[in-house]
Each structure stands twice: as C-alpha cells, then as structure tokens.
Structure 1
Amino acid sequence: MPDLATIAAFLDLHHGEWAARVADFADTRLRPRPRARDDDDGRREAVELVRLMGDAGLYRPLADMDYRAAALARETIAVASPLADALYAIQGLCLTPLLIAGTESQRERYRAGLLSGDLVGGFAMTEPEAGSDVAAMRTTARREGDDYLLNGRKHLISNAGIADLYMVFAATDPAAGSRGITCFAVPADTPGLHFAGAQVLSAPHPLGELAFQDCRVPGSAVVGESGAGFKIGMATLDRLRLTVAAAACGMAERALDEALAHATTRRQFGQALADFQVIQTKIGAMAMELAAARLLVYQAAHTRDGGAERVTLEAARAKAFATEAAQRIVDEAVQILGGRGVLADSPVDYLYRAVRALRIYEGTTEIQYLIIARQVIGAHGGTA
C-alpha cells in the first residue's frame, strides 16, 4: 500500500479506507496470478483482469471523478501487476470522454458495462503519422446522411483486438486541423472496423492496430459536438495523466521493496549488501525520489479534486518527474540485484520492461517539459 503518511495532507479520511481495500485486492487477487508468458496469454489475461477489477468496484473513482482515489488505485495495482494497471488506465480513457461530453443515452448504454468490466474499453487516437502531433491524424469521418463513414488506420492502441468499445478520434474536417477532429463511440463489432494485428511488447500487453474501411456509425455515436474531439481528448488526458504518474510510483515502490529485500539478506564479503555505503546511497536516493514523486502526484490530484477545471501544469510536472524517477529507481534495483535482476522471472526485470512505456504514453516526457515551460513562461507574461 502507498506510504500514506507522506501524502496525508492531500487526502481525506475515506482515502485511507479505500487504499486499504485496493491493497487487499492487489495482495489476494493480483499478486498470486501467474505472469502472462506471451502476447496471446496476455490478451486472455487482460480480459480476465478487467472483469476482476470491475467486480471489485475498483473503477468507481473514475465515475466519481475522485482522482486521488484513482491515483491510489493505480499506484497500488501497479505494485502487484503492471498489466492490470495498464488495463485500469485504458478503462478510464474510454469512460472519461463519455462522462465529460457524452449524451445521457451514451452514458446509459456504456457506463455500467465499463464500470463492471463487462465491457473492455479502448482509446483509439494514435496513428502511424500522428503521435504527439494529434492534429496530423489521417483517419477521416465523412458525413453521409445521418451517418458517418470512418476510414483510416490506428496503431499502438491498447486493448486493440479485445476491446468491446473504442473511443475513436477522426477528422470530420481535415482542413481545420485540431478543430476538425471528432470523437466517436464505436462498438468493436461495427462492420468496417477490423483488428489489423497485434503489436507485441516485451512485457505482455494487448497492443495492436485497427483498420477502418467504410466503417458506418450513426450520428448518435458522436461524443460531444462535431469538431470537439481534440478538446475532449486533451481534457481526458489532462485528467488522467496524473494517474500515470501514480502508476510509476507503484512500480518504483515495488522495485525499491525488491531491492531492500535483496540488500538486507544477500551477503558479500562477510556482510549484508545493505551494510555497504554505496548500496545505502542508492537506496537513499531511490526512497527520496519516490517520496518526491508521490508529493507531486497527490498535489495534482488534490488540486483537481478541489474543483480546478484543468491541472495541466500540475499533471505535467507529476508525470514527467514520477515516470523518469521510476525508470531510475527500477534501474538501480536491477543493479542492486545484479545478475538475479536480469533473469526472466525476476520482478525487477519485468518492471524494467513495463515502466519504460510510462515515459511515452499519454504524452512523452519531452512534451511534458514543453507544457511546463509554456505554463511557466506564460505566467511571467511571455509567450511560447
């Protein structure tokens, strides 16, 4: 469970009870599960994990927009299962556009299933030529009567091939750039939508490509207004980006725990590894960075829960610092474990592969630095 004492100033009473509940679920339901061996195994496991977390009510903070509780959930889940954490994130990315911009009919149709895990969610924004530059997307949605015809290709889409519902972003007015993008709620069984193949990660995770070939969706599939997709997508990422940072803290916590367990029991040259000052300096730096990351995460979540419409700066700081710190902490854990740290069945080897993606998805570290710089420069009367 997260070190609640460090972040107590940012939490309410119910958050401690919630953290204990999630920790019990993680310890009893996630930790004992065998790790997925390959992509096929990972996809089967992913569907099961989405439903397990839904059955346990873990997605409730996403619906309540309690981002401190969501951060606590992701941090705690990530300690036990980076795969489960990634799935939690995608469920949130699919649900949030419906909550902030969906119609009552859309929410009635999809909300309960996403919260229960009966519906596996997907978030289809990234394309081969449109990653950080979202406005460059080439997938189009052409109006035809009361319907839209979607054509194009999405890649690096989490849950591609296993999702029941995708939030799909497409250009309804390509000439308008970011102001011509629209968000659609598209069930996976819609004719013209095809799973175009898996993209296999070193740490099993259901990732792949989607192809749209005259995929016809009704006008009622539009989430929000036509042309508002970019705004909806960015608002979704702005709300959930801080939970990526929380997940990074969870992975860093697990790495630090593994390093401590090894350093205090492994003996070299007649003494425990933890008795060597070089190991102590590593552990001290790891613990300090983890504490600092948590403070940034829960300060951002506290600000959002306090009513702030946007936490662009706070979320960017949290994500950039926490994910970079987690990468360093995991790397140091591998170094402390030595050869054992690079064995295929080592938790820190798995963490080493899993944590790397957090520095990329939902906005790379470099993009976060740009966001921070623009906010800081703007606050001082400059332009960037």
Structure 2
Amino acid sequence: MGTFSLAPDQLAWCAELRDLAERRLAPLAEAAEPGRVDRPLIAELGRLGLLERLFTSGALDLCLMRESLAQVCSEAETALALQGLGAHPVHAYGTKEQRGRWLPEAGAGRAVAAFALSEPGAGSDAAALALRAEKTDTGDGAGWRLTGEKYWISNAPEADFYTVFARTGPDAGARGVTAFLLPADRPGLTGDHLDMLCPHPIGSLTFDGVPVGEGDVLGEVGGGFEVAMRTLNLFRPSVGAFAVGMAQAALDATLGHTAQRQAFGGPLKDLQAVAHQVADMAVRVESARLMVYAAAAAYDAGAEDVPRRAAMAKLLATETAQHVVDAAVQLHGARALLRGHLLEHLYREVRAPRIYEGATEVQRAIIAKELYKQHARTPEAHRQEAAR
C-alpha cells in the first residue's frame, strides 16, 4: 500500500464501518442520555470486534476506524476513541497480570476505560502535573497514596478503571511522573460530571489518599511522562481522522443541499461563489486526510519524526474541520442552526478537538521544536555555525 492511497480492501472496510455505524451504532447513540457513558454503545462496539481491534491494529487502522465512524455517528467514534486512549497504556506498558485482568474486559466493552492526565492547572502543559503520590510503607512493598485532582477526564467519573498520571518524585516538569492503573473502586476516589457545550461523558476526579502499589504501576516508576507522550503520539493523528470524518460529513451534506436548494433562478451549485467555496472545502478535507494518513503510516513504520508528523496532522485536520463545518453552516443558512440538524450537531462537536490532546498552539510549538532539532542535526547547519 502506498502512503497516500488506500487498498481496495481498506476502502471496503471503511464502507462496512459506515454501514455498521448507521444500522447498529447510531440507534444506540440516539437513545442514550447525553453527557453520560453509553454502556450499550460500548458493548456493541465490543460485539462488533472494534474494541479488540484497538489493541491489534496500527495507527492507520485506528485512523480509518475513527474517520469512518465519525462520518456517520460521532458518538460511536468518541466511545471507541476514549476506550482506546484509556486502555492503550495497559496494552503497551502493563504487566501480564494487568493485561490479563483488564484488556479482555475493555475489548469486550464490559469495562470502561479512561485516560486521566489533565488537571485544573495542567491541561496543555502536561508536565505541570500536581497530583501527588506520597510514599507509604504497606509492609508488602512500595506503595503510594494519591492526593489531588484531575479535570476534563473523558468517561469520568463512570469509568471502571483509569490510567492515572501522578508525581512520585520531587523533580519538576516531565521527570518524576509515574503512570498507574487505578480501578475505580479504590477508597478515596470520587468524581463529578461536567456539563459541556457538546454533551460528552466528561468529568472531574478527586483523590483523597487513594492507595496504589507497585502492582499498579504502568511502565517504570518515574517513566509516566513517556507513557503519556507515546500514547498521545499514537492518538494525535487519529484525532485528526475524527476531524476529517466530521469535515467529510459536513461536505457531503453541503453537496446534497447546494445541488437541490433553489435560489436566484437555479440550484445554489450553479452560483460560482458557492461552487468555488465547495471546491475549496473539498481540497482542504483531502489535504487534511492525506496528512493524517501520512502521519499514521510514519508511526506504523517506526519513523523518527512521528512527534512532528502527529502534531502537524492534528493541527491541520482539526483547524480544517472547524473551517469546513463553519462554511457548511453558512451555505445551509438558518436551517443548519436548528436543534437536531446534522450541522448543528457537528458545529458543537468540532470545537473541542482543537483543544484536547494538545491545543492547536501546543501543536505549533511541538512542530517548531522538532523542526529546529532536525535542522541542528543537518551537516549544512553545522557548516553554517562553523562559518560564523
């Protein structure tokens, strides 16, 4: 398969996913309570084998799943992605016991996972974590008690287990952070729902001396920042795929509307201003799609420049989706603002991806940092420095 094209079997799989989303997933999403974890939807994703595929597929497959589901049912896409984000650190860094206990449950959709990184004072600046892990003597080995808060945590407070990042060492910044696998029934863990513009299952968590031990560590003590960043490097291109799926849905709706809507003596599509805007929307969507696929392919190939590519893909795709959905609303007119209209839904959905898993501004900072690192390694850069 070429980096910038999909094989026939991949295209057929994407079409199958869209069909499943329409027939089996969208009805469950429509019946769910807004702002709460949709367990029937997650269980159906498990029955369809999509959650298990999160742990056996590469980054490109993840992007294809998220893009395809997002075109038809953004709630199903979000449920899939949140399950993957919360459980991936267990898959990648968990012990045999941790994996055996939680991955079958998560893959079947019987246990809901969550990724607990953000805090009231540590959103885009993930290195500013303040959740404390205070050392205790349990008599059975090393242990800690977690004290502090997490905020903006998807699937909280209803998840069954959390990947939690806490500061176990005195070092500031990225050092001294450890990742823990935390079952939701640990004493001292409480939480609340947050009421968002687009009603996703998202909430806050309060840790009042929550006990964790060596058997709860994911990866190495002090290595939690690497767990977080490697997980985000995998999921950032697929956030872009989610955005591309929403943008494609908005574009498809616009093509249908402008081909049928009569105004000024003919269909809207015959107006040059409209036709050119639709063409621009299509170019932007396809450009974002190609960058997402390229970033995912680079991740799967183990390329060195994954952080830069992942940041570029998320940046371009999420900004593109915002533009395309907004343009679609404009071309549809007031009907697109009616509660329940596809574009009204997308207009609320499309805003958050520009913030979570690293805001647009953070992606620009990552891209610039990686570019200068790459430049400093080139022979030409060294020759220029020597000439000075």
State yes or no: 1:82 paired with 2:82.
Answer: no
The match for 2:180 is 184
AA matched with 2:126: V
Q: Give the deviation of 1:8 after TM superposition.
A: 7.3
AA matched with 1:324: E
The match for 2:97 is 105
Aligned CA RMSD, in angstroms, stands at 2.0
State how far apart, in whole Å, the 2-side matches of 1:129 and 1:307 are: 33
Q: Secondary structure at the match of 2:206?
A: strand
Q: Is the 8 A contact 2:71 2:245 kept in 1?
A: yes
AA matched with 1:162: E
Question: Which of 245, 248, 256 is the aligned partner of 2:240?
Answer: 245
The match for 1:271 is 266
The match for 2:118 is 126
Q: Give the deviation of 1:18 after TM superposition.
A: 2.8
Question: Which of 6, 13, 27 is the aligned partner of 1:18?
Answer: 13
TM-score by length of 2: 0.92
State how far apart, in whole Å, the 2-side matches of 1:29 and 1:370 are: 41
Q: Secondary structure at the match of 1:152?
A: strand
Q: Give the deviation of 1:107 after TM superposition.
A: 0.7
Matches within 5 A, 1:355-366: 355-366=350-361
State yes or no: 1:168 paired with 2:168.
Answer: no
State how far apart, in whole Å, the 2-side matches of 1:298 and 1:319 are: 11
State how far apart, in whole Å, the 2-side matches of 1:278 and 1:213 are: 59
Deviations 1:56-90 (CA, angstroms, capped at 9, x unpaired): 11123321242111101000111122222222221
Q: Is the 8 A contact 1:18 1:69 kept in 2?
A: no
Unmatched runs of 5 consecutive residues or more in structure 2: 383-388
State how far apart, in whole Å, the 2-side matches of 1:356 and 1:28 are: 27
Deviations 1:153-191 (CA, angstroms, capped at 9, x unpaired): 001110002211100000001434311100000111111
Question: Which of 252, 255, 266 is the aligned partner of 2:250?
Answer: 255
Aligned length in residues? 374
Q: Which moved more, 1:55-64 or 1:318-327?
A: 55-64
State how far apart, in whole Å, the 2-side matches of 1:66 and 1:298 are: 12
State how far apart, in whole Å, the 2-side matches of 1:17 and 1:274 are: 30
Q: Is the 8 A contact 1:22 1:58 kept in 2?
A: no
Q: Secondary structure at the match of 1:161?
A: coil
Relative to structure 1, the CA distance from residue 320 to residue 311 in structure 2 (aligned partners, 3 Å threshold; closer, same or farther) is: same
Q: Is the 8 A contact 1:19 1:69 kept in 2?
A: no
TM-score by length of 1: 0.93
State how far apart, in whole Å, the 2-side matches of 1:120 and 1:353 are: 24
Q: Matched residues, percent identical?
A: 41
State how far apart, in whole Å, the 2-side matches of 1:110 and 1:353 are: 33
Relative to structure 1, the CA distance from residue 243 to residue 236 in structure 2 (aligned partners, 3 Å threshold; closer, same or farther) is: same
AA matched with 1:264: A
Q: Give the deviation of 1:206 after TM superposition.
A: 0.7
The match for 1:149 is 145
The match for 1:43 is 36
Q: Secondary structure at the match of 1:202?
A: coil
Matches within 5 A, 1:24-39: 24-33=19-28, 35=30
Question: Between Structure 1 and Structure 2, whose CA radius of gyration is higher?
Answer: 2
State yes or no: 1:233 paired with 2:225.
Answer: no
Q: Is the 8 A contact 2:25 2:44 kept in 1?
A: no
Q: Which moved more, 1:88-97 or 1:316-325?
A: 88-97
Q: Is the 8 A contact 2:26 2:76 kept in 1?
A: no
